[in-house]
Amino acid sequence: MSATGAPRRLEGVVCVVTGAARGIGLSIVERYASEGARVASLDVSAKRLEPVVAELVARGLNVRGYACDVASRLDVARVFAQVESDFGAPIGVLVNNAMWTRFQPLDQIDEETAERTYSVGLKALIWSLQAVAPQMKRRGGGSVINLSSTGAVRSVTHSMVYASLKAAVLGFTRAAAVEMSQHGIRVNAIMPGMIATPAAIGNYDAATLAQRAANVPLRRFGESDEVASVAAFLASDESRYMQGSEVVVDGGWSIAAQ
């Protein structure tokens, strides 16, 4: 049994989570490891990654950290091959969570914002699927989970780059699901709403946060472990008939009249 009392649904499975040093990514790493997975925790910052991996290992969880710039095709290929070598088995689950962006009005969108956002958030999905697909084929299948956002379908001001990226993630997920089905590889997406991570809420004052929470039918922001629970379901055999799905985790925000 896991720490939550649930069955260890991922016992022995090698899982890769990108953008895993904090927030949703870290919660997914913790949840997977608690369900028996062997987890490769990837982040662009080794300095940020090392202490959180050390804390998880001290708790007896099977987690290893890897510094990786997912925007680099060569870096992704190198790290994914190293993960298979280190764990002695092909990767069975991949979570594409890494993200970088700035929210800017149209006249302030710059080359760096556009290039880095699309490289980390979209190109990386291509590089990671190229790297993981041969491993999943060798093991007879696997599960790929892409983190999109409700911002893909319901945008806020100054979010043109972010919203277009997250919409593209959904298109990529559907197309990849069709192509990968013949190999037993499932590809699905999670669409979180406002999740109470430092990166998501750190730039707002208390009044603004209260107003935004009031616009959510459940009257609160989500927690990163609530997204991790969905990611664990999609990684497990319990979701074995889900392919190309988009699972919304937003407290009802995207369906409510404003």
Give the predicted TM-score (pTM) of the model.
0.93
Q: Which of 66-75, 121-130, 147-156 has the lowest mean pLDDT?
A: 147-156
162 is catalytic: yes
Catalytic one of 32, 66, 162, 241: 162
Looking at per-residue pLDDT, the higher value among 80 and 208 belongs to 80
Q: What one-character-per-residue DSSP string does 119-136 give?
A: IIIIIHHHHHHHHHHHHH
Assigned domain for 227 exists: yes
Domain count, the chain: 1
Q: Pairing state of beta strands 93-96 and 142-147?
A: parallel
Distance CA 83, CA 157 (A): 40
The CATH number given to whatever domain includes residue 156 is: 3.40.50.720
Assigned domain for 143 exists: yes
Assigned domain for 7 exists: no
Q: Which of 112-116, 202-206, 213-217, 234-238 has the lowest mean pLDDT?
A: 202-206
Between the CA of residue 137 and those of 86, 185, 211, what are the distances in Å? 19, 8, 47
Structural domain containing residue 189: 14-250
pLDDT of residue 162: 87
Assigned domain for 5 exists: no
Give 220's contacts (C-beta < 8 A, 6+ positions apart).
Answer: 213, 251
User: What are the pLDDT digits (tens) for 166-208?
Assistant: 999 999 999 999 999 999 999 999 999 989 988 777 767 888 8
User: What are the pLDDT digits (tens) for 3-43?
Assistant: 455 568 999 999 999 999 999 999 999 999 999 999 999 99
User: What are the pLDDT digits (tens) for 81-112?
Assistant: 999 999 999 999 999 999 988 888 888 889 99
Assigned domain for 234 exists: yes
Assigned domain for 36 exists: yes
Q: For 250, how many CA atoms within 13 A lie in the half-sphere containing its CB?
A: 23
**Closest listed residue to residue 174, CA positions, set 132, 202, 144:** 144
